[in-house]
Amino acid sequence: MNHQSIVGFSTDRAEADYYPTPPQTTEALMQREVFEGMVWECACGDGRMADVIKKYNPVYATELRTDLGYVKGGDDFLTMYKSVPNIITNPPYRLAQQFLERALLLAEKKVALLLKLVFLESASRYNLFKSSPLKTVYVFSKRQKIYKDGIEGVNSGLIAYAWFVWDKSYNGKPYIDWII
C-alpha cells in the first residue's frame, strides 16, 4: 500500500481527487445545520451530495469536469465571482484550502466543507482559522466509507472526516460535536 495516498499526495490518488460523498454523510450535516436559501455545491462530481441537499434547499451544482454525469460543467469555482447564500462541498483535498478561501469570499451566510480531520493540523492555516468564522466541527465517530472514483474497494474507512461549518453571523470560539 502506498501510504502517501492516505495524505493525498501520491500518484495513486483518484483523478481530480474524485472521492464521492456517501449520501448519509451529507444527510448527517443537513440534519444538524440549517442553511437559509440556495446552496452551491461547487465540486459536485456525479451529484451525490447535491441530490441530498436538494431535499432541504434549492441547490446549484457545478463541476469543472464534464465526464462525471450530473454536471453543469465549465464553472471553475476557484476563478468565479458568484455571490451565493451558502456553499457546501467535499473539495478536492489538494485544493481544500483554496476552496475554503474562495468559499468564504463568495458565501453570504454559511460554508460547510467535508474535510479530513487533520485539516485542523497546520501552522500555515492557523491564521486562516483564527480570522474566519468557524462555528462547528462535526466529527464522525465512525469512519466514512469514501471510495476512490466511487468504486467500492478495500481501502476505505482509513481516514477520519469531519464537517467544518463556517457561519458569517457567528462570533465566538469553534464548537466541536460528534456524529454517531
Q: Could you read off the pLDDT of 55-70 as tens digits, one per residue?
A: 999 999 888 665 554 4
For the chain, domain boundaries: 4-179
Task: Give Cα 67 to chain centroid, integer Å.
Answer: 20
- pLDDT, residue 106, reads 95
Could you please state the CATH topology (level 3) that the domain comprising 4-179 is classified under. Answer: Rossmann fold (3.40.50)
What would the pLDDT profile of 88-129 be if each residue is shown by its tens digit?
999 988 889 999 999 999 999 999 999 999 999 988 899 999
The count of residues in the chain is: 180
The one-letter amino acid at 72: K
Asked whether 14 and 147 are in contact (CB, 8 A), the reply is no
Residue located via cell numbers 501520491: 10
Pairing mode of beta strands 84-89, 161-167: unpaired
Looking at residue 71, its pLDDT comes to: 47
Task: State the pLDDT at residue 63.
Answer: 80
Concatenating the DSSP letter of every residue in the chain gives --THHHHT-STTSPGGG--PPPHHHHHHHHTT----S-EEETT-TTSHHHHHHTTTS-EEE--S-SSSSS------TTT----EEEEEE---GGGHHHHHHHHHHHEEEEEEEEEEGGGG--TTTHHHHHHS-EEEEEEESS-----GGG---SS-S-S-EEEEEEETT--S--EEEEE-
Q: What's the pLDDT score for residue 66?
A: 55
C-alpha 108/C-alpha 52 separation (Å) is: 21
| Least reliable range by pLDDT among 16-20, 47-51, 176-180 | 16-20
pLDDT at 5 over 60: no
- What pTM, to 2 d.p., does this model score? 0.85
Name the average pLDDT for the chain: 84
pLDDT of residue 3: 37
